[in-house]
Structure formats: structure tokens, C-alpha cells
């Protein structure tokens, strides 16, 4: 089977192939934050007090007593990551960021809308109205007895503008405007048809999971599972990537002197700290921890202390990223070996929509019945996010899982991290396929005002939580 290979940047995060064989439209995304619009879809139903103001005024006292201590807000942000904006809102309201709940993190370079909750009867509409942050708006929806949390999230609706699309209709580019648009539309329709025939696209973890400018979170996670704390810290501080600023690259080069100096090489770290740009907060905090106190040499305890400057929720993300990388490798191998994604094989583990936490191994006796449920969308094939309690699949799927770990030199027991037990992971399973229906918007193809002579294309689709828009878009762009 002939497969279209991914670019090297994607292969580095475990994505080896495209799932479609069609020709891409090219172009690029996120020229402006407003080109990438994300609207959170939740199962919550808050009272919209703006629309029901009369009722609110009549029943205000009872609502305060019965609706609970959580203020529910609609947060719309542009060019802010979720953790950063939550930290800023907490600072402006003078409350702990731990009192603010949200269902999922959203892209930074985008316009995103989601719900958040703030615990505390002392926080009301007046306090929120006084919060003025550039690129951020907050709208009160109501109050609730429950905080907003991950379980509320169903998924996200995306409206994406692809810019810089060539509008020509062939090698000579002889078609006029209408011909160019029809050729773009033809390519989009061909890719959509192939995706629909396959039931969706492979549920890869996108590049955001590994770091956009420095895709290394999985490399750090790999070192942590091996107990290599020093190597993990130095990887974060000193590994250089092309898209960084020159100041950052120079600071990281200086930090590399520590590696040459062995356990006692502190001069490079001190020089790197002086040069490290202020916006690299975590690097500076780690370096400060390493060089403080006039030490003459460094030991493992120093590197453990340096790593601990990360907030607990970020520490866990490194191991999760390594699990994501291994998952991508499993899906890439499944694709290469021609195993189906929308059909269960004997030995596969499937989960059921009604019981997402329960995985069942497919036997010869049950395979036909299971696949009837798969075709109806009531069950789905899974692959492992490896952990110390992971049970391997049987058959060809199990052979793939074992081969991925063997090539990585990884064992399931590695995911019990003795030096940082709180980062340990039992493992879980994730769908190998994400269903998606991509729609070309009514104003879908038009002139790109930022790139004269080229087109812009507007696409709309919904994805369940945990899936990545870039994984869908790559099939259309092929660039």
C-alpha cells in the first residue's frame, strides 16, 4: 500500500504518514489569532442572566442561596494561553488561581471561547467588570453549585482560515479566478470524501502537545521515566531549536558548558542565566535554583530541586507527552502495516460510548458483534497510552505495541517514577480514530488580502475533547 509520508517535523513527534492520498491545497494557518477560532462545547447549562434579567431580579436572593458559590463566566481570549490568562485573572481579582476552574486548555495564538468558574461568594458581577485585560473579555452566565471541570467538556467547534492558498488550476496556471476556486474546492471535496469513507482521521496528538517552537516535552518525559533528572533539566534549559530568538539560542549554548564540565561545571549555567531572556520564566527559575548559594558542584538533589520549580500540573505534562509520542508511533505503525482504524480485529481493545472507562479485548466469538457497534458509533478501537498497568492487545495490534516499546528501550515499569511518584501513570487507552465532518463555509474561498494573488479558505468542523484541529487540517493542506 502506497502511503504519503509526513514531513520530518511531524516524524519527530511520531506521525509518519498522512491518512489521505489526495493532493493538498497548501497554505498556512494562524497568520492572525482571529484566523483560528475555537468555541468550547460543554454539557453544562448555565442561566444566562443577561437574557433573563427580569427573572433574575425577582429571584435574586433565592438564586444566591440555591445556585451555589461558583460564579460561571464565559471567557473569550485572543493571544493568551489558558494557564496564563487564569493566572492574570486571579491576580486582578486577588484570589488564588486554584479557585478558578476550566474544562480544557485552548490554543494561545487564536480566538477562543470557553467557560470558567470562580469559587467564592465575594466574587460577583461588579468585581468581574473591573477586570480589564487586553485581548480578554468576561461575561457572567450565572452561578452554580459545581465548578467547571474537565468532565464538562464535550469538545470544540473550530472555524479556521487557511491563507496563502494558490488559486491556479494547473502547471500553467491558466485558469481564471473561477477556475482557481473550483480547483481548490475539488481538492477539499476529494479529501473530505476520503476522510468520510475512512470514518475519520487517525487520532494523533498534534504538535501542540510537544511544544510548537521547541517540540521536546516528550524527550524530557522520556528522560524522567528513566530517572535521568539531570538530563531532563539540561534538555529543557539547553536544547536549541531553529525558531527561537538569537538571545535564547546564545543563552542555551552557554548552558551547554555545564555538560562539558560534568558535575562541577557551573560557570556555563551562571553565564546562561545572565543571558537568558526574561520571557523564558521556567528556564530562569531553574537556573536560579541550580546556581544559588555559592555551590562549587552540583548533584542529583540540585537537579531535582531545579525541576521542582515547575508547577505540579506542568510536571505531569512531560510524562504525558512521552505517552502521546509512543501513542503516535503505535498509530503510525498501524497505518504502515495496513491495519484498519474503523474496524476491530481479534486481539484489539475496544471501548464503548456508554462506558468510556471500560476496555474490552475483542475475541473471535465477539468480533462481528463488536464491529456492528463500531459501525454504529457505539464502540471504538483503542491504542494504549502506556503506563505501568497497561495490558497489551493481542494479535497484530499487540505486536505493534511491543515493538514500539522495544525500539524505544522502554518498559511498562518505567512509568512508575520512583524519584517523582506523583508523575507516575497507570496508563489508559485512547481511540485510534476521530470522526470529523469538515465543511467549507459559505464564504469559504475568497481573495487573501494579506497575500495578493492567492486565496484564503475558511473551514468549519467539530472535534471531541482531546483531539487536535491541526491533525485534521494537515490532511487538507499537505504542507
Higher pLDDT residue, 173 or 284? 284
Q: What ranges do the domains of the chain cover?
A: 18-33+155-200+438-477, 45-147, 217-310, 318-434
pTM: 0.89
Q: Strands of 276-406 (E only): list them.
A: 349-352, 355-361, 379-385
High-pLDDT (> 70) share of the chain, %? 90
- Residue 313's pLDDT band, with cuts at 50, 70 and 90, is confident
**C-alpha pair distances (Å), 289 with each of 95, 292, 305, 307, 310:** 27, 6, 7, 9, 12
CATH number at 18-33+155-200+438-477: 3.30.2350.20
Q: DSSP state, 362?
A: P
Report the pLDDT averaged over residues 269-296: 92
Report the pLDDT averaged over residues 181-204: 97
Q: What is the pLDDT of residue 187?
A: 96
**C-alpha pair distances (Å), 105 with each of 81, 278, 287, 467:** 7, 24, 27, 12
Q: What is the pLDDT of residue 229?
A: 95
- Residue 176's pLDDT band, with cuts at 50, 70 and 90, is very low
In which residue are the cell numbers 528501550 written? Answer: 409
Catalytic annotation on 302? no
Q: What is the pLDDT of residue 355?
A: 79
CB atoms under 10 Å from CB of 363, counted, come to 11
Residue of 107, 152, 348, 448 with catalytic role: 107
Domain 45-147 matching CATH 3.30.70.1880: the answer reads no
Cell triple for residue 459?
Answer: 473551514
**C-alpha pair distances (Å), 364 with each of 7, 344, 394, 395:** 38, 11, 11, 11
Q: Residue 30: which of 324, 475, 434, 450 has the closest Cα? A: 450
Q: Which CATH fold would you assign to the domain 217-310?
A: Hypothetical Protein Yqey; Chain: A; domain1 (1.10.1510)
Look at residue 61 and tell me whether its pLDDT is greater than 60.
Answer: no
Look at residue 98 and tell me whether its pLDDT is greater than 80.
Answer: yes
Q: What is the pLDDT of residue 171?
A: 39
Encode pLDDT of 136-163 as tens digits: 999 999 888 899 987 788 999 999 999 9
Q: What is the pLDDT of residue 178?
A: 44
Under a CB-based contact definition with an 8 Å cutoff, are residues 164 and 118 in contact? no
Look at residue 430 and tell me whether its pLDDT is greater than 60.
Answer: yes
Report CA 162 to chain centroid distance, whole Å: 20
Beta bridge partners of 36: 160
Backbone phi, psi, residue 86, to 5°: -65, -40
Sign of the alpha-carbon torsion through 334, 339, 341, 345: negative
Look at residue 427 and tell me whether its pLDDT is greater than 50.
Answer: yes
Q: Which CATH fold would you assign to the domain 318-434?
A: Pseudouridine synthase (3.30.2350)
- 217-310 with 318-434: one CATH topology? no
Report the pLDDT averaged over residues 245-271: 80
Q: Helix or strand or coil: residue 144?
A: strand
Report CA 197 to chain centroid distance, whole Å: 26
Task: Compute the distance between CA of residue 277 and CA of residue 246 in angstroms, rounded to an integer.
Answer: 10
Amino acid at each position: 500500500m502506497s502511503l504519503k509520508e509526513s514531513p520530518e517535523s511531524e516524524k519527530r513527534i511520531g506521525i509518519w504518514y498522512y491518512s489521505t492520498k489526495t493532493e493538498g491545497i497548501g497554505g498556512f494557518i494562524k497568520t492572525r489569532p482571529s484566523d483560528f477560532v475555537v468555541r468550547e462545547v460543554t454539557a453544562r447549562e448555565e442561566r444566562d442572566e443577561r437574557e433573563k434579567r427580569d427573572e433574575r431580579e425577582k429571584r435574586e436572593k433565592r438564586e444566591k442561596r440555591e445556585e451555589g458559590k461558583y460564579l460561571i463566566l464565559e471567557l473569550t481570549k485572543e493571544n493568551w494561553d489558558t494557564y496564563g490568562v487564569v493566572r492574570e485573572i486571579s491576580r486582578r481579582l486577588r484570589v488564588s488561581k486554584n479557585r478558578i476552574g476550566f474544562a480544557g486548555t485552548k490554543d494561545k495564538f487564536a480566538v477562543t471561547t470557553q467557560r470558567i468558574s470562580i469559587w467564592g461568594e465575594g466574587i460577583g458581577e461588579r468585581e468581574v467588570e473591573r477586570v480589564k485585560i487586553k485581548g480578554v473579555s468576561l461575561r457572567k452566565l450565572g452561578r452554580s453549585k459545581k465548578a467547571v471541570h474537565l468532565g464538562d467538556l464535550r469538545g470544540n467547534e473550530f472555524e479556521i482560515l487557511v491563507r496563502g492558498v494558490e488559486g491556479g488550476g494547473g502547471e500553467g496556471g491558466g485558469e481564471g479566478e473561477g477556475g482557481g476556486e473550483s480547483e481548490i474546492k475539488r481538492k477539499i471535496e476529494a479529501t473530505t470524501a476520503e476522510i468520510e469513507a475512512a470514518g475519520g482521521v487517525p487520532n494523533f496528538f498534534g504538535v501542540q502537545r510537544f511544544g510548537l517552537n521547541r517540540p521536546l516535552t516528550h524527550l524530557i518525559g522520556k528522560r524522567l521515566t528513566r530517572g535521568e533528572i539531570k538530563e531532563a533539566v539540561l534538555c529543557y534549559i539547553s536544547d536549541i531549536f531553529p525558531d527561537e530568538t538569537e538571545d535564547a539560542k546564545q543563552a542555551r549554548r552557554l548552558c551547554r558548558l555545564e555538560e562539558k564540565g560534568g558535575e562541577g561545571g557551573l560557570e556555563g549555567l551562571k553565564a546562561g542565566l545572565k543571558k537568558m531572556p526574561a520571557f523564558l520564566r521556567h528556564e530562569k527559575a531553574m537556573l536560579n535554583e541550580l546556581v544559588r548559594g555559592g555551590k562549587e558542584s552540583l548533584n542529583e538533589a540540585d537537579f531535582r530541586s531545579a525541576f521542582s520549580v515547575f508547577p505540579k500540573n506542568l510536571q505531569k505534562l512531560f510524562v504525558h507527552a512521552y505517552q502521546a509520542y509512543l501513542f503516535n508511533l503505535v498509530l503510525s505503525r498501524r497505518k504502515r502495516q495496513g491495519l484498519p482504524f474503523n474496524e476491530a480485529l481479534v486481539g484489539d481493545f475496544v471501548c464503548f460510548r456508554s462506558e468510556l472507562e471500560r476496555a474490552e479485548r475483542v475475541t473471535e466469538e465477539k468480533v462481528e458483534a463488536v464491529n456492528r457497534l463500531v459501525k454504529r458509533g457505539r464502540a471504538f478501537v483503542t491504542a494504549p497510552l502506556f503506563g505501568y498497568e497497561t495490558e497489551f492487545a493481542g494479535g497484530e495490534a499487540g505486536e505493534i505495541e511491543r515493538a514500539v516499546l522495544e525500539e524505544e528501550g522502554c518498559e511498562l515499569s518505567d512509568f512508575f517514577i520512583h524519584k517523582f511518584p506523583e508523575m507516575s501513570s497507570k496508563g489508559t487507552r485512547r481511540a485510534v480514530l476521530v470522526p470529523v465532518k469538515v465543511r467549507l463555509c459559505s464564504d469559504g474561498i475568497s481573495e487573501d488580502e494579506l497575500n495578493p494573488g492567492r486565496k484564503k479558505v475558511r473551514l468549519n468542523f467539530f472535534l471531541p475533547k482531546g483531539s487536535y484541529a491541526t491533525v485534521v487540517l494537515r490532511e487538507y493542506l499537505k504542507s
